[in-house]
Chains A and B, each alone.
Chain A
Amino acid sequence: MTGSYPALSQTSSGEPLQPVALVDLLDRLLGAGVVISGDLTISLAGVDLVQVRLHALITSVRAEMVPE
């Protein structure tokens, strides 16, 4: 699923984030922030979010760098 959600009108520039900005954001959103167990995020405790993030990002970076 690749949803493309409208960001808030106040802050949306319509431009995709630069990779560095996305990494900065994920550094904080996945690594920090208040951890309150929601009804569903409890089940995510077993997922290593850092691995998820790196896997997703490296896959994407490689896809961009390697033409085939």
Chain B
Amino acid sequence: MSETGLYCYAITRGLDPAALEGSAGIAGAPLRLVEHGGLEAVVSEVDLAEFGEEGLRRNLEDLGWLESVATTHDAVARLASEQVPTAPLRLATVFLGADSVRARLGEWHDAASRALDRIEGRGEWSVKAYVDVDAQETPAAEQEPAEEMGAGRAYLLKRRAATQRREASAQAGAELAEEIHAALAGGTVLSRRLAPQDRRLTGHTGEMVLNGTYLVDASGVAAFKDLVARLASEHPRVRLEVGGPWPPYTFASLDPQ
């Protein structure tokens, strides 16, 4: 390793260094804490050839690299968040040394404390909703007119009908997503809708109409899951997928208030 920097995974409050023993960060480097003002940053050393500006630009385009760093980042954030209030940092936040980390912890102390208060005792859960677009179509009548009118006209009519169906279906999907999200948001502390995922990336079937994420109190997880199950049974055309708990990535942001 040539020059090294400190990769910062998360900010925690009250994490015992002993909790990190036996666990490794990126490239197997040992995890350690940098403390300041009652908060800790969970860090490990990384090679600046890999995590410097140039290295990051190059490596972020490399799926294998991105996956291994993201997986390790998530594992560290989980390890911490299972024990103490944890605000996970975005991928690839790198400092040149412990003094820089401490300076930043001081600068962000109040905002970080508010974020940690907000997520303490809570987890992030995701709910995705899919509708099967094809299942809504009723193609029974659409092929018949072809014999009576010109093939070209029949084709255009068919195309127009298909477009109208898609539009109606997209509208119905959007309304359904809004309804489900509103119901889930009503029972949770905070909620947000992420952009629906691209099928080319996930390979999911049907149309993802909702990619919601919810901050749920530990005591409310069972009720949240019950609510998802109830919504699923009320809307048989929709497939709901619940996932979690995640470290509170979406809800630990430092809003400068």
| Contact in complex: A54, B27 (CB < 8 Å) | no
Report Cα–Cα, A25/B90, bound state, in Å: 11
Report Cα–Cα, A34/B108, bound state, in Å: 11
Tell me, yes or no, whether B157 is within 8 Å of chain A by CB.
no
Report Cα–Cα, A67/B198, bound state, in Å: 21
Report Cα–Cα, A51/B66, bound state, in Å: 13
Tell me, yes or no, whether B73 is within 8 Å of chain A by CB.
yes
Report Cα–Cα, A30/B115, bound state, in Å: 18
Q: What 0/1 pattern do residues 1 to 44 of A give for CB contact below 8 A with B?
A: 11111111111100011011011111111111111111111011
Tell me, yes or no, whether A66 is within 8 Å of chain B by CB.
no
- Please provide the chain B residues from 75 to 106 with a CB less than 8 Å away from any CB of chain A in the complex: 75-76, 78-79, 87-96, 100, 104
Tell me, yes or no, whether B254 is within 8 Å of chain A by CB.
yes
For A35, the closest partner residue in chain B by CB is B90
| Contact in complex: B253, A34 (CB < 8 Å) | yes
Tell me, yes or no, whether B34 is within 8 Å of chain A by CB.
no
- Tell which of B65, B73, B124 touches A3, judged by Cβ atoms closer than 8 Å: B65
B contact residues, range: 35 or more
A contact residues, range: 35 or more
Residues of B within 8 A of A (CB): 5, 8, 10-11, 22-24, 26-28, 48, 50-53, 55-76, 78-79, 87-96, 100, 104, 108, 112, 115, 124, 126, 194-195, 197-198, 200-204, 211, 213, 243, 246, 249-250, 252-254
Of the A-B pairs whose beta carbons lie under 8 Å apart in the complex, a sample of 21, sorted by A's number, is A3-B64, A5-B26, A6-B28, A7-B71, A8-B79, A17-B67, A19-B201, A22-B67, A24-B197, A28-B124, A28-B249, A29-B91, A30-B91, A33-B88, A34-B253, A39-B5, A39-B95, A39-B96, A40-B96, A47-B60, A57-B63
